A and B are shown apart, each in its own frame.
Chain A
Amino acid sequence: MTDTGTALQPKRKGLTRRQRRGLSRAVQYAVFAAAVIAFAVAADWGRLKNQFAQGDIARQMFPEVITLALKNTVLYTLSGFVVGLVLGMVIALMRLSSVGPYRWVAGVYIEIFRGLPALLIFIFVGVAVPLAFPGTQIPGGTYGKVAIALGLVSAAYMAETIRAGIQAVPKGQMEAARSLGFSPARAMVSIIVPQAFRIILPPLTNELVLLFKDSSLVLFLGVTLEERELSKYGRDLASTTANSTPILVAGLCYLLVTVPLGYVVRRMESRSQEAIR
């Protein structure tokens, strides 16, 4: 897109640098305008409106899409996040341990769960485990299964994030704490980890956004009507009404949460940039 201008530069010896820059900009705006006009003309607006923006179908989704579907999505996400954070913290500390086998186990865990698709983990927790161990009950029913599946996946990523955060705390902090008489464990808890979390708050929030989206995989566990979250809810309604509007509404509900969260992350990142100076 932008290379239309730069590609011209070496050949057009006749133009000054300023003229070339002006020409390049003009071409880029022209291409964009042409694309917008082509789309506007080619699109079947009536059909799109009928399929995706039927007001009465959208209206009949409320308030359930919020009180049930969005609520469940948030619940699944938060429970998975909490499990992932606790497990990730343990794995990160194991990864930094001076005891070899701990480091080794943590490394293997991270490699496995970063390398597998989240969907496969959901199937593993929802299908493979009950098949292999008949009679085992995962506490909390579907909520428990989602918390474990999402937790297992996110723990691997969070462990690496937390480890990087801990290692980003300057070595002098641990030395200062030890010189004051802190034991290694107490220095870690009181001094190092609080600083590490400040550093990793933006990536952890990003992880929350990813989990929010991955919670849609609960679809594959088979849920009751009461346990449906946004994606499943939107899909069910789309098939009963034979219309795509519910998908659009469900999508907007995701964005309702992810866009502000993304904004918060960018704010935190620019603030931590300032703090470094």
Chain B
Amino acid sequence: MSRAEIQVQDLHKSFGDNHVLRGIDLEIGQGEVVCVIGPSGSGKSTLLRCVNLLEEPTGGRVFVGGTELTDPDVDIDAVRRRIGMVFQQFNLFPHLNATENLTLPQRRVLGRDKATAARIAAENLARVGLADKARAYPSSLSGGQQQRVAIARALAMGPEVMLFDEPTSALDPELVGDVLAVMRRLAEEGMTMMVVTHEMTFAREVADRVVFMDGGVIVEEGGPGQVIGAPRHERTRHFLSRLLDPAMAEVEEEAPDQVGGSGE
């Protein structure tokens, strides 16, 4: 963790009157894996999307690899090439097969020649365990396979940082494991990762640091053993108990944890 790969300073984001992010400060070092957890509407996905400027922050600054993304004169396309993004809904290009999903961006964006792009595509499909699906179209793949192709597509661009936006939330439960295994391997290989997730087991075992967000602010952060194992804040405890045992939740008169973090 020599230098900060991702730096977020006093980040604010509003959608109209809805103040979703209320001053976020976060640093993620090189090779660090940070999981962001929190209830829905807490702003965690918005934070992630601000890190590659898919959402334009209302205030504050974002740096990735030393380049300021929030600088109006920055070449955003050039910076984004260094940031891989994996979406909840996969967002594979449905008119292209798995290999073409990986080669088209390499060729159009990075200007790699056909042979090089094909070689790198094959390497990355093998890396996510889908070498045998090279010619399959997204519609013929399971959700888990589609998400692994999406990870391979991002990796083929050679990113320095990977962002994951609830990568397993749209998957059938029995398919989650394959995707998490790929992410775990990636973490072991030293990739800098920022992961918005509800998978507490993954966060506990893989993350170097866990960030709990609620109401547009970071409530607490620290090692997974501390934040998930022994949370200091009542809101964190409340969230975790509901997540780990949904059946235990009681009907609440007023939801105290929903104060600033209203609807999605």
Contact = CB atoms under 8 A, between A and B. Distances in A.
Q: Is the interface of A mostly helix, strand, loop or mixed?
A: helix
- Interface residue tally on A, bucketed by range: 20 to 34
Given A179-B54, A195-B95, A172 B78 contact: no
A181 B139 contact: no
Contacts of A175: 54, 87, 91
B91 A180 contact: no
Contacts of B70: none
Contact of A198 (B54, B80, B95, B154): B95
Contact of B93 (A178, A179, A191, A275): A191
A180 B80 CA distance: 6
Contact of A275 (B87, B109, B139, B154): B139
A170 B81 CA distance: 22
Interface string B84-120: 1101010111110000000011001110000000000
B153 A180 contact: yes
Interface stretch (A33-41, A133-141, A182-190, A230-238): A182-190
A188 to B, nearest CB: 12
Given A172-B87, A176-B87, A275-B139, A182 B109 contact: yes
B42 interface: no
A10 B81 CA distance: 70
Contacts of A178: 54, 77, 80
Among B52, B89, B109, B139, the most chain A Cβ lie within 10 Å of the Cβ of B109
A97 interface: no
Interface in B144-188: 150, 153-154, 157
A176 B95 CA distance: 14
B91 A172 contact: yes
B242 to A, nearest CB: 29
Contacts of A277: 139
A181 B91 contact: no
Given A175-B87, A178-B54, A194 B104 contact: no
B95 A182 contact: no
Contact of A179 (B85, B89, B104): B85
A173 interface: yes
B105 A180 contact: yes
B77 A183 contact: yes
Interface string A253-277: 0000000000000000000000101
B47 interface: no
B156 to A, nearest CB: 9
Contact of A181 (B54, B93, B94, B109): B109
B157 A181 contact: yes
B91 A194 contact: no
A181 B105 contact: yes
Contacts of A181: 77-78, 80-81, 105, 109-110, 157
Nearest to B105: A180
Interface string A154-178: 0000000000000000101101111
Given A175-B54, A190-B108, A275-B139, A182 B77 contact: yes
A176 B77 contact: no
B157 A180 contact: yes
A183 to B, nearest CB: 5
Given A195-B94, A195-B95, A172 B77 contact: no
Contacts of B54: 175, 178-179
B83 interface: yes
Among B95, B105, B139, B153, the most chain A Cβ lie within 10 Å of the Cβ of B105
A186 B81 CA distance: 14
Contacts of B52: 179
A176 to B, nearest CB: 4
A172 B91 CA distance: 6
Contacts of B77: 178, 181-183
A180 B105 CA distance: 7
Contacts of B87: 172, 175-176
Contact of A180 (B94, B139, B154): B154
A157 to B, nearest CB: 24
A186 B107 CA distance: 12
A179 B95 contact: no
Given A173-B91, A175-B91, A186-B108, 4 more contacts: A173-B93, A176-B92, A178-B80, A179-B84
**Nearest 4 interchain pairs by C-beta:** A176-B91, A179-B85, A181-B81, A172-B91
Interface of B: 52, 54, 77-78, 80-81, 83-85, 87, 89, 91-95, 104-105, 108-110, 139, 150, 153-154, 157
18 contacts: A172-B87, A172-B89, A175-B87, A176-B91, A178-B77, A179-B80, A180-B105, A180-B153, A180-B154, A181-B77, A182-B108, A182-B109, A183-B77, A186-B109, A191-B93, A195-B93, A195-B95, A275-B139
